[in-house]
Amino acid sequence: MLFHLLLASTFCFMANDNPLLVSSPLPLGAPDFSKIRHEHFMPAFEAGMKQQIEESEAIANQASEPTFENTLVAMEKSGEILERTGAIFFNLASANSDDQIQEIEEKIAPMLATHSDNILLNPKLFQRVETLWKRKDSLGLNEEQSRLLKEHYESFLRAGARLSEADQKKIRAINEELSSLTTQFQNNLLAITKERAVLVDSRDELAGLSEAEIKAAVEAATAKGATGKFLLPITNTTRQPVLTSLKNRALRQRVWEASAYRGLGQSVNGTAGIDNRPLVLKLAQLRAERARLLGYESHAAFTLENQMAAKPEAALKMLQDLAPQVVEKAMIEAKDIEAAMKKDGVNDTVMPWDWEYYAERVREEKYDIDENLVKPYFEIDSVLKNGVFFTMNQLYGVTFKERTDLPVYHPTVRVFDVLDGDGKVLGLFYADYYQRDSKRGGAWMDAYLSQSRLLHQKPVILNVMNIPRPAEGEPTLLTLDHVMTMFHELGHGVHGLFSDVEYPTLSGTNTPRDFVEFPSTFHEDWAIDPIVLKNYAKHYKTGEQIPQALLEKSIAANKFNKGFDTLEYLSAALLDLQWHSLRPDEIPSDVEQFEASALHDMGVDYAPVPPRYKTAYFAHVWSGGYSAGYYAYLWSEVLAADAFAKMRDKGGLTRENGDRYRKTILSKGGTREMMLQYKDFSGAEPTVDALLVRRGLKD
């Protein structure tokens, strides 16, 4: 903190013009979006990097012997400006981007990569951390301090701190190029989403869509200058929500192909489309080369070393053990799909664009349920307040109180105080739920500020989704998938909000990838808990509670089509591991051929059920931080299903259960080894039994 004081006079004149250079005066340090402008970011990034480098040099060059306080704690306190600026900027780059933000992102990404290397490849700084590591048994550290030392020591090693100067130079060049390419990939996906939206000429082609959906398509087309036409946007996954309703098979095929063949350079309206294949090959090559330099067999081996799985073979085994029964389940489901097609007069093999439409028909017939009859009971505000917030209150005693006095970056963003059981403010929660062109696909949680007792910080947490915005004046009615995603993301949210740790490096969701999805997935199942459903599933017009028969059918129908759901996920997870298990000399030249071969070799190449993400638009692994880690959702789901089943058996939705889960899991961040955290909660390691039931693969 000494350096912060010395810097005060340097930055005081700049802070009047740049709000990013000082802590926000708003509650809990919430970003003041009313004052932040695009032109503030580059100067703040530059000032933040300068500040942290000088702080790091001061730590490294101390004459005194290294101690936990003068080295690790000092490092934890460094980089205040950079941390604040990056948290705000990169959330905007994902949730509300524009050309100027993308230009800044492309410029700053390699600079940040170099900055990180300048710290982690500082030999004097590493020497101090390594000295502490060698003395760790005599330092009298508590568990959290020991974990912090381990995290920092391994970060230096994995950055290449022990490599020769020549190899460190190669690592630096690779990191800089990787940062530029991942940014380019992310920006390409945003452009591709706009590029591949499907323009429809005739209203007749939209048979099956509701009036509200058609109205939204008209408004979307008009906004793009195509008055009198209809625009169907493309979401991030291969499957598209609109395919469940469209009766027109030719249009379904157009929509599916617009999704599945994106990023391959295909012509769009007579002009060449965006081609992500060269980017993919270069990213795979660079990651493989970096892993080799660091002494690993592959990028997957490098990535999984500090995960729960530890080795790629463990993740592959879990996925491959499930694959045969999942493929068999999907093939059984396909027979029902083909039967429904024949009943509809379509005597053809089931194609990917048929599956979701006829699966919905089979679901309606099997369970006598129409999704359009259910959606009026899932109005967004009721789901959020009477469903998600209600669950958090029943389990953990927290309440969410909306406030409208804090500035936001988009008019549809909402802000809530999160109050603990004693009425004290625990943190802030931002909710950004609606789809827009300026937002990348998918759903995620992030933090503007992470909890830390050392820094006297309370958490400021953000949830982002891509729910289609209804036409003006129409209610937002959700699918069950959207409902469960809302529960999922606030599961991440409370992992950040309930964090109770000393050091920011170990705070909240700073855990291994194959653990971080556990708390979020665990919270999904409360969406279909009878007590919770009864509280939020009410008709948006009449307030009538969802009829018991419809409720039971909805819960039963939720288990339907799980072969398809699981296979498309498995295919994507295996594809990710196949790409990132390659050595530098094994990188292919043909993306599509490699993808087809990989799926075939793994036994998951079933044409009617393509991967949830194909290579050219697999955001999670090429730009989203999940490289060689997409398997983590299923790994975490094993924990989540097991934990939920055990909590259900002990009374379900009770404060006693919630408090135990909060104390042993949600408050711990990365301060304790992950399996020990799980065993603290459950008393034993998990089994896969509850997962198989959850996925509908076992009664």
> What is the DSSP track for 481-511?
HHHHHHHHHHHHHHHHHT---S-GGGSTT-S
pLDDT given at position 15: 52
Rg (CA), the chain: 25
DSSP 8-state symbol, 230: E
Q: Is 100 within 8 Å of 89 (Cβ atoms)?
A: no
C-alpha–C-alpha distance, residues 695 and 485, integer Å: 16
C-alpha–C-alpha distance, residues 605 and 588, integer Å: 19
Give the end-to-end CA distance of the chain in Å, rounded to a whole number.
58
The number of C-alpha atoms within 13 Å of 692 and in the hemisphere containing its C-beta is 14
pLDDT given at position 16: 60
**Closest to 466 in 3D by CA, of 93, 94, 87, 90:** 94
pLDDT given at position 269: 67
b/e per residue 357-389 (b: at least 16 CB within 10 A): bbbbbbbbeebebebbebbbbbbbebbbebbbb
pLDDT tens sequence across 206-223: 999 999 899 999 999 999
Average pLDDT of adjacent 10-residue blocks, the chain of 699 residues = 37 66 97 98 98 98 97 98 98 96 96 97 98 97 98 97 97 96 94 92 95 93 94 93 95 96 84 92 98 98 96 95 93 95 95 96 84 91 98 98 98 98 97 94 95 98 95 92 96 98 98 96 94 94 90 79 94 98 97 97 96 96 94 95 96 97 98 96 93 82
> For the domain 2-162, what is the CATH code?
1.10.1370.40
CATH 3.40.50.700: does it fit domain 376-558?
A: no
Q: Which residues are catalytic?
A: 489
Q: Which residues contact 498 (CB under 8 A, 6 or more apart)?
A: 396, 426, 662, 666, 667
pLDDT given at position 367: 82
Q: Is 664 within 8 Å of 676 (Cβ atoms)?
A: no
Tokens 């940040």, located at residue: 112
Token duo for residue 137: 């048994």
pLDDT tens sequence across 40-69: 999 999 999 999 999 999 999 999 999 999
- Which H or E run contains 667? none
C-alpha–C-alpha distance, residues 493 and 489, integer Å: 6
Domain ranges within the chain, ordered by starting residue: 2-162, 196-260, 376-558
Query: Residue 29 class from Cβ within 10 Å (0-12 exposed, 13-18 middle, 19+ buried)?
Result: middle
Token duo for residue 69: 């306080």
| Phi-psi group of 68: left, alpha or beta (phi > 0 → left; psi -120 to 50 → alpha; rest → beta) | alpha
Same fold across 2-162 and 376-558: yes
